[in-house]
Chain A
């Protein structure tokens, strides 16, 4: 279900100044059932970018104004996490290394086979999907965690460090029965099926919280 839903919003964003290649690329991608949107320059792409764009970018290196590789580093700077497929007519080793180091999914030398492009785009889509799923999951867990009471959060913290109910009760100066109650409530709210599941969630949470909300 979710996969289909993603498919409908996923797009290939083509940044290429050569109109003919641009048309060919979007035609080819459309023939494979993919949605496309074309940009003639890096500036145009940055101008039209919105946070809800999903899919991947197919990026030419030689562009008027900001070059493809410059755009790639600009995307990293502004935390635009769309996967990038780089293509160029005259790539050399340092250029490939730079592009891949900056997180490019694939480096295509023009001219390339349609299968090469489609595989790269599929790979990029998959990456984007995993990223979004991760992001979605983190968001739902965070929502669940936000519904916890102060006590439940305390219990959760202690449970995930591996303490028993009895030890928790001692730490929090509560009875074991009360701890069990809080724990049950917390597990239900977090929709955790097991202790291992909860540990994973708490790891995700701490992971998410550290870089995203350093102030809280």
Chain B
């Protein structure tokens, strides 16, 4: 009810009072100006009324225009059309008035239409302006948000106690985080592009480049262990992990790299490796000595008991008078103890049985690959380069991988030790070859002084050694491992250095 009233009153104002007031105002102004002007102009002067109609239609709309036409018509008829001061119209003036009304309606229509169009344009412009302002505000806001997020992200990369870098799709490093810069000892000069590769150990730089190039062509992530030079000039081992960032179409946009300090881990790993090395070199004889001691103890216990029971038995019999009951008891214990001694002997025998060998299908090439990884650091330290010449078509062999690895390690360490004082390039070469009849021949060659022909046949004998600290067991163990695998091992004459070969059979 109330709303309707309001709408009604608004309608009244919009189409009643306002057009009425505007048209009245303009017509009055036109009338007042026409009175003085009619004396100067001969014809009934109506142009100002056209102006009033135009103005009314412009400012008050078509309704005001119509009202102005009505009022102008009456006013012109009353004041300026003869008979003057009367509503009646003379015949001769009728066409004139008709023409006036038609023209006035046209003017009112055009004017109000123009006005409407103008208003519409204005409104549209205002709306547009507002829209633009809103958009600008929105953009500003989201811009601030993005900046803030970027700042937070940057802060995060700086806060992570991890060395991080970022590179473009071509592999040009653009950004290093603070941790990385601090480690490198660089503060102001950014490490970018080509200079980035100088942070790696010269021996690792090309390796790093290779694996990254590989990752770039294959499009995968990469991971590599390299030494990175710190600010102090010392190298530490790092695990560098590179991850590509891709666009939605799969194209690589950027690379991110993380450096993980491996030094402590690497140290402990090297300790394990060196312990492993020691074990493989001396462990066998050490454990042999220890085994001998424990067998001696195991046997000595029943032996001691045997001797004491026997002695007690004899003494009871030698007593005056002989104590036969005690002597019999001692003799009984003597018999029991003999079984215990026999048990020990059979236990020892089972210890040395071949049941210990666990045979599994093994790829010798893979084994050699694994081994070269294990001895890589050692080889670098000794200045030895490892070369692999592995046959592609190697059959899989049933063998004890642990024992075989120990054998290969033994040969590798022997080779590297032989090259210790040698001049010239030091190369340790592993080769595999598939022979006819399912046999695989493995060769381990070094560029050391070689094995003199006079001792070549004896080097696999137990306790034979040319090293001052040697136990003479290493190669003997190698031979026994191969014998357990129905293979054989020998040393061959070589142009330079030593060449040890062994054969295992694919069909065990």
CB-based contact A24/B312 at 8 Å = yes
Q: Could you tell me the distance between the alpha carbons of A87 and B307 in the complex, rounded to whole angstroms?
A: 14
Interface stretch, picked from A27-35, A156-164, A189-197, A208-216, is A27-35
The reply on A5 being an interface residue by CB < 8 A is no
- Which residues between 1 and 60 of chain A lie within 8 Å of chain B, taking CB atoms? 18, 20-21, 23-25, 27-28, 30-32
The reply on B227 being an interface residue by CB < 8 A is no
Q: Could you tell me the distance between the alpha carbons of A25 and B315 in the complex, rounded to whole angstroms?
A: 12
Given A20-B333, A27-B326, A27-B330, the answer on whether A111 and B311 have CB atoms closer than 8 Å is: no
The reply on A79 being an interface residue by CB < 8 A is no
Chain B contacts for A111, CB-based, 8 A: 300, 303-304, 306-308
Chain B contacts for A30, CB-based, 8 A: 312, 326
Chain B contacts for A110, CB-based, 8 A: 300-301, 303-304
Chain B contacts for A18, CB-based, 8 A: 301, 304-305
CB-based contact A31/B315 at 8 Å = yes
Q: Could you tell me the distance between the alpha carbons of A87 and B303 in the complex, rounded to whole angstroms?
A: 14
Digit string of B293-336 for contact with A (CB within 8 Å is 1, else 0)? Answer: 10011001111111111011011100100010010011001001
Partner of A90, one of B293, B315, B340: B293
Given A31-B315, A31-B326, A32-B315, the answer on whether A24 and B301 have CB atoms closer than 8 Å is: no
The reply on B337 being an interface residue by CB < 8 A is yes
Given A20-B302, A90-B296, the answer on whether A25 and B326 have CB atoms closer than 8 Å is: no
Q: Could you tell me the distance between the alpha carbons of A134 and B330 in the complex, rounded to whole angstroms?
A: 39
CB-based contact B311/A28 at 8 Å = yes
- From residue A113, how far is it (CB to closest CB) to chain B in Å? 7
Chain A contacts for B309, CB-based, 8 A: 24, 27-28
Chain A contacts for B308, CB-based, 8 A: 21, 24-25, 27-28, 111, 114, 117
CB-based contact A89/B301 at 8 Å = yes
Chain B contacts for A28, CB-based, 8 A: 308-309, 311-312, 315
The reply on A62 being an interface residue by CB < 8 A is yes
- Which residues between 79 and 130 of chain A lie within 8 Å of chain B, taking CB atoms? 87, 89-90, 110-114, 117
Q: What count of chain A residues pass the 8 Å CB interface test? A: 21
Chain B contacts for A27, CB-based, 8 A: 308-309, 312, 326, 329-330, 333
Chain B contacts for A21, CB-based, 8 A: 301, 304-305, 308
CB-based contact B329/A31 at 8 Å = no
Given A32-B315, A114-B312, A114-B315, the answer on whether A89 and B304 have CB atoms closer than 8 Å is: yes
Q: Could you tell me the distance between the alpha carbons of A30 and B333 in the complex, rounded to whole angstroms?
A: 15
Q: Could you tell me the distance between the alpha carbons of A6 and B162 in the complex, rounded to whole angstroms?
A: 80
- Which residues between 324 and 370 of chain B lie within 8 Å of chain A, taking CB atoms? 326, 329-330, 333, 336-337, 340
- Which residues between 159 and 200 of chain B lie within 8 Å of chain A, taking CB atoms? none
CB-based contact B312/A20 at 8 Å = no
- From residue A40, how far is it (CB to closest CB) to chain B in Å? 14
Chain A contacts for B307, CB-based, 8 A: 24, 111-114
Q: Could you tell me the distance between the alpha carbons of A24 and B297 in the complex, rounded to whole angstroms?
A: 17
Q: Could you tell me the distance between the alpha carbons of A23 and B340 in the complex, rounded to whole angstroms?
A: 15
CB-based contact B333/A23 at 8 Å = yes
- From residue B311, how far is it (CB to closest CB) to chain A in Å? 3
Q: Could you tell me the distance between the alpha carbons of A168 and B316 in the complex, rounded to whole angstroms?
A: 65
Q: Could you tell me the distance between the alpha carbons of A111 and B302 in the complex, rounded to whole angstroms?
A: 9
Q: Could you tell me the distance between the alpha carbons of A98 and B314 in the complex, rounded to whole angstroms?
A: 34
With a 10 A CB-CB cut-off, give which of B296, B301, B306, B308 has the most chain A CB atoms.
Answer: B308
Chain B contacts for A113, CB-based, 8 A: 307, 311
- From residue A136, how far is it (CB to closest CB) to chain B in Å? 32
- Which residues between 260 and 306 of chain B lie within 8 Å of chain A, taking CB atoms? 293, 296-297, 300-306
Q: Could you tell me the distance between the alpha carbons of A32 and B308 in the complex, rounded to whole angstroms?
A: 12
Partner of B312, one of A31, A62, A87: A31
CB-based contact B305/A24 at 8 Å = yes
Digit string of A58-89 for contact with B (CB within 8 Å is 1, else 0)? Answer: 00001000000000000000000000000101
Q: Could you tell me the distance between the alpha carbons of A112 and B316 in the complex, rounded to whole angstroms?
A: 18
Q: Could you tell me the distance between the alpha carbons of A114 and B316 in the complex, rounded to whole angstroms?
A: 13
- From residue B330, how far is it (CB to closest CB) to chain A in Å? 5
Contacts A28-B312, A113-B307 aside, 14 further interface pairs with beta carbons under 8 A come to A21-B305, A23-B333, A27-B308, A31-B315, A31-B319, A31-B326, A32-B315, A89-B301, A89-B304, A90-B300, A110-B301, A110-B303, A111-B306, A111-B307
A positions within 8 Å CB-CB of B: 18, 20-21, 23-25, 27-28, 30-32, 62, 87, 89-90, 110-114, 117
Question: Can you report 25 residue pairs joining A to B where beta carbons are below 8 Å apart?
Answer: A18-B301, A20-B333, A21-B301, A23-B305, A24-B307, A24-B308, A24-B333, A27-B309, A27-B330, A27-B333, A28-B309, A28-B312, A31-B315, A31-B316, A62-B297, A90-B293, A90-B296, A90-B300, A110-B301, A110-B303, A111-B307, A112-B304, A112-B307, A113-B311, A117-B308
8 pairs of A and B residues whose beta carbons are closest in the complex = A114-B311, A24-B308, A89-B300, A31-B315, A28-B312, A110-B304, A27-B312, A111-B304
